[in-house]
Every structure is written in structure tokens, then in C-alpha cells.
């Protein structure tokens, strides 16, 4: 029987790239989305072409009941859950120096999606993951390490996700491995939607400031996630940065 995995926020970008990669390796996948229905359907179609028993589910993972329903649906369909990727995220752009630009609600909204949803999904899936000696990967950010990024609220939520990863790695050992990926700037729709006309300029700045002189594609990040899911059998509580060397060698963009 094929292994099965749930990937939140997987209609586009990193989530979609991860789903397609795992489907190509013989995994059944659950594609989760909130707004991007057409893109989610296309991702599900591409996964099914690899022979994946694909589930498509609209669900707001900030709500615990939705998380539990998603896990239950996957288990009822596959009779197993082997992996979970907590990829769903949102942000609020606000210069770090603009302390008045963030409201209490901004923190609440970002923490609910970027942090609490990962806890809720992992809690719901834990009994099934334990049965399969499965794996969880949380998609954090270098913003959670260096405090930079689109806003202080976003950086804090991603830093908390790193701590959650470490706590869950302790809590679920030895049956479930829990690791995190911390991408730098990622090319594609998500950043384009927020940066608009500034996208090319910002992408170029990050590329020039990195050791490898490039920024990541969604497929680059998916490679790291897939490695934690399918390999890395002795890795848990690991926080892996994928940013072309940017965070290790650069302290400020020029």
C-alpha cells in the first residue's frame, strides 16, 4: 500500500511542488487549499497522473475542526498517514521600523495560520503518524532565525514555529520525526503577489547578496522537504536553512 501525506497550503508554490515530487515517488497526497481552487485542481490532476490517490480538500487550517476533518478524511481514504507538511502561511507587509504599523490582530492572524495550525494539524495526525513511524516537516523561514522578513509579526510567528518543531520532536519521539525547513527568498507567485512591481528588484537584491548568487525556486525548497520525509531517518528536531548561503554570510542587504 502506498504511503500517504497531507500537505497544507498545497495549491501553488512550495506546497504544490512538494506534492508533485512525492506523487512522482509513489506517494498518495492530500492537496489542501483555501482560495486557489483552480490551481489546487491542477496540482491534484498532475499528482494523479503519477498514479497518486489524490484527495483535494478546501479547509482553513486555522480552525481546529477543519484540521481534524482533513486528517480523518485522509485516514478513511488511505487507512494510513505517513507524513505531514505544515506549509500553509500568510504574512502582513510592514517595515520593521514601523512599530505603529502592526496591530494586535495582525499578530493574532499570523500566529493562528503560521503557528497554531501546525500544532493543530500535528496533534490531529499524531496517532496515525506514530503507527507508521512517520514524519512531520514544518515550513518556517530565515525570518524566524534572523528576525527580518516582511514584518515583525511574520518573523515572530516563524520563530515560534521553529520552537514548536523542537518541542514536537521531543514530544513525539521516538515514533515520529519532526523537522523544519527555513527558506530564504522564494521565487514565484506568493512573493509576486505581495511585492507586485518590486518583485524583480527584490529578487535580484537577494540573489546578489547570497553566496550562490541566486534565490530559491519552490522546487528547491520541496527537495529539502522531501529529503526529510523520505530519508534523513536519524534526523529529528533539525532546522535546515535553504537560502543559497544568504543567512550565513550576509547581515544586511546593500
CA dihedral 214, 183, 221, 232 (to 10 degrees): 120
Question: Residue 94 has what pLDDT?
Answer: 86
Nearest to 1 by CA among 22, 28, 20: 28
Q: What is the CATH topology of the domain spanning 4-249?
A: Rossmann fold (3.40.50)
- For the annotated catalytic residues, the residue numbers are 154
| pLDDT value, residue 254 | 47
Grid coordinates in use for 62? 486555522
CB neighbour list of residue 175: distance below 8 Å, 6 or more residues apart = 129, 130, 133
Parse the chain into domains and list their residue ranges.
4-249
Please tell me whether residue 20 adopts helix, strand or coil conformation.
helix
Are 110 and 118 contacting, i.e. CB atoms less than 8 angstroms apart? no
Count of C-beta atoms within a 10 Å radius of residue 83? 27
Q: How many CB atoms lie under 10 A from the CB of residue 127?
A: 12
Contact 2, 28 (CB under 8 A): yes
pLDDT of residue 239: 97
Query: Which grid cell is 219?
Result: 522546487
Res 5: pLDDT: 98
Q: How does pLDDT run along the chain (254 residues), one tens digit per residue?
A: 899 999 999 999 999 999 999 999 999 999 999 999 999 999 999 999 999 999 999 999 999 999 999 999 999 999 999 999 999 999 988 889 999 999 999 999 999 999 999 999 999 999 999 999 999 999 999 999 999 888 999 999 999 999 999 999 999 999 999 999 999 878 877 676 666 777 777 778 777 878 888 888 999 999 999 999 999 999 999 999 998 888 776 555 54
pTM given for the model: 0.92
Q: What is the pLDDT of residue 252?
A: 53
Q: How far apart are CA 52 and CA 30, in angstroms?
A: 10
CB count in 10 Å sphere of residue 146: 17
Q: Where are the alpha helices (DSSP H) in the chain?
A: 13-24, 37-48, 64-78, 104-111, 117-132, 143-146, 152-172, 189-195, 199-209, 218-230, 246-249
CA nearest to 190, candidates 12, 6, 31, 10: 12
Amino acid at each position: 500500500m502506498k504511503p500517504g501525506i497531507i500537505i497544507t497550503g498545497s495549491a501553488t508554490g512550495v506546497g504544490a511542488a512538494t506534492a508533485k515530487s512525492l506523487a512522482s515517488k509513489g506517494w498518495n497526497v492530500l492537496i489542501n487549499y483555501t482560495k486557489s481552487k483552480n490551481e489546487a485542481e491542477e496540482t491534484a490532476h498532475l499528482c494523479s497522473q503519477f498514479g497518486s490517490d489524490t484527495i483535494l480538500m478546501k479547509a482553513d487550517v486555522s480552525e481546529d475542526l477543519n484540521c481534524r476533518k482533513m486528517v480523518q478524511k485522509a485516514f478513511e481514504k488511505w487507512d494510513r498517514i505517513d507524513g505531514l507538511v505544515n506549509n500553509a502561511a500568510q504574512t502582513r507587509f510592514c517595515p520593521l521600523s514601523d512599530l505603529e504599523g502592526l496591530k494586535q490582530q495582525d499578530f493574532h492572524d499570523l500566529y493562528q495560520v503560521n503557528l497554531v495550525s501546525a500544532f493543530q494539524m500535528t496533534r490531529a495526525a499524531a496517532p496515525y503518524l506514530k503507527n507508521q513511524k512517520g514524519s512531520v516537516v514544518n515550513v518556517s523561514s530565515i525570518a524566524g532565525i534572523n528576525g527580518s522578513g516582511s514584518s515583525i509579526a511574520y518573523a515572530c510567528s516563524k520563530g515560534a514555529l521553529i520552537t514548536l518543531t523542537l518541542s514536537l520532536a521531543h514530544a513525539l519521539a521516538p515514533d515520529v520525526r519532526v523537522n523544519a525547513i527555513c527558506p530564504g527568498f522564494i521565487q514565484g507567485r506568493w512573493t509576486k503577489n505581495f511585492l507586485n512591481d518590486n518583485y524583480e528588484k527584490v529578487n535580484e537584491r537577494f540573489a546578489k547578496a547570497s553566496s550562490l548568487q541566486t534565490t530559491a525556486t519552490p522546487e528547491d525548497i520541496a527537495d529539502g522537504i522531501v529529503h526529510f520525509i523520505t530519508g534523513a531517518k536519524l534526523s529529528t528536531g533539525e532546522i535546515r536553512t535553504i537560502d543559497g548561503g544568504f543567512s550565513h554570510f550576509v547581515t544586511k542587504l546593500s
